[in-house]
Amino acid sequence: MDKLVSLQNFVRVVEEGSFAAAARAIGQSRSQVNRAVAALEDDLGVQLLNRTTRKVSVTPSGQAFYQRAKVILADLGDAEDSIREHRDRPSGDIRINAPMSFGTLHLGPALVDFARAYPDIRVDLTLDDHFIDPVADGFDMTVRISRPTDTLALIDHEIVPMRRVLCVSPEFIRTHGEPTDIRDLARMPCLHYGNLPSGARWKMTGPDGPVAIQVNGTFCCNNAEILRDAALAGLGIAELPTFIAGPELQTGQLVSILCDYAPDPLTLYLLYPPSRQFAARIRLLVEFIQDRFGDQPRWDLVQ
């Protein structure tokens, strides 16, 4: 148990940046925290922290040990929470990372409902369009549209395909005419998503099979909501997911074109470390998101 306390104190010192701040956060004296970390260093036979009168810094050995210690403490917390959740109501923290647009438009409102249904679970949502390593970055779950290739160590749940459509505004059609041939994409102004590996090369399936078109990319952005707004302004042809463009397609502010061609679909994934699969709060959230977005997602019901 003394080693566990030392481990907790060490992690808190690293995260707080000083022994004094860690002692305040833990509710112990500075000397107690210092002794606990010193005992841990003696036991390991390495120096974990560099100490000066002004600050504390982490040694390379300390940084490596800190990453492992975080996982150990998180696993222990999950084990304790799992027992409590069998006995009581689900509780504990869930740190979630998700893409900006999907998080703003759909996941955020869903998590508000989840938090209302399970008030003892603390939800911490971070929106970021770059893939993160949930273990290294301290997240319990990451939500992604398309599965990253370097996540073999994570458990993944496929929730639902994410359909995309080619669309323009009526103003664009009045100005440029309506595209009637897939080759029109190479000469007409197009709006493309900057985070796709294929860049301005759009891949889709048509009546004769797969095709790939190098589009005339006149406007590029790494945010699909801005691409939707650019399409609404008549700037060009957009390849948009229906979870973003669904309402505008329903009202006629955007019009589907080249309907015989379907852009390659993406997939909504939930990914989390294997150590989290036994926590009841994680299972509850997976089921909640599956029920909310699986099968026929609401953004496709407006088509």
Please say whether the beta carbons of 178 and 131 come within 8 A: no
Residue 270 β-bridge partners: 143, 157
Predicted pLDDT of residue 130: 82
- Beta pairing, strands 189-193 & 237-241: parallel
Q: What is the number of other CB atoms lying within 10 angstroms of the CB of residue 68? A: 10
Query: Would you place residue 26 in the very low, low, confident or very high pLDDT band (cuts 50, 70, 90)?
Result: confident
CB environment 274-286: b (16+ within 10 A), e (fewer): ebbeebbbbebbb
Sheet strand arrangement including 237-241: 216-221, 189-193, 237-241, 164-168, 255-256
Q: Distance between CA atoms of 6 and 42, rounded to whole angstroms?
A: 11
Predicted pLDDT of residue 88: 62
Nearest to 210 by CA among 201, 223, 200, 197: 201
Residue 209 β-bridge partners: 206
Q: Name the least confident of 15-19, 84-88, 202-206.
A: 84-88
Decide: helix, strand or coil at residue 200: coil
Token pair, residue 194, equals 């900057």
Predicted pLDDT of residue 197: 57
Residues with Cβ within 8 Å of residue 271, at least 6 apart in sequence: 134, 141, 142, 143, 144, 147, 148, 151, 154, 155, 156, 157
More confident: 276 or 210: 210
The values of phi and psi at residue 154, to 5°, are -105, 150
Decide: helix, strand or coil at residue 134: coil
Q: Across residues 23-42, what is the average pLDDT?
A: 88
Predicted pLDDT of residue 73: 84
Please say whether the beta carbons of 257 and 119 come within 8 A: no
Tens of pLDDT, residues 80-105:
776 666 556 788 899 999 999 999 99
Question: Which domains does the chain possess?
Answer: 2-84 (1.10.10.10), 89-160+267-301 (3.40.190.10), 164-264 (3.40.190.290)
Query: Would you place residue 171 in the very low, low, confident or very high pLDDT band (cuts 50, 70, 90)?
Result: very high
Q: Across residues 35-58, what is the average pLDDT?
A: 87
More confident: 288 or 90: 288
Please say whether the beta carbons of 51 and 38 come within 8 A: no
Predicted pLDDT of residue 303: 47
Residue pointed to by tokens 């080759």: 183
Tens of pLDDT, residues 66-84:
998 888 888 887 777 766 6
Q: State the distance between the two ends of the chain, measured CA to CA, in whole angstroms.
A: 59
Q: For the chain, give the mean pLDDT.
A: 87
Q: Distance between CA atoms of 227 and 74, rounded to whole angstroms?
A: 39
Q: Is the pLDDT of residue 53 over 90?
A: no
Tens of pLDDT, residues 227-257:
999 999 999 999 999 999 999 999 999 999 9
Decide: helix, strand or coil at residue 119: coil
Q: Is 50 exposed, middle or buried (0-12, 13-18, 19+ CB in 10 A)?
A: exposed
Give pTM, 2 decimals: 0.68
Predicted pLDDT of residue 168: 97
The H or E element containing residue 278 is none
CA 224 to chain centre: 15
Query: Would you place residue 151 in the very low, low, confident or very high pLDDT band (cuts 50, 70, 90)?
Result: low
Predicted pLDDT of residue 149: 64
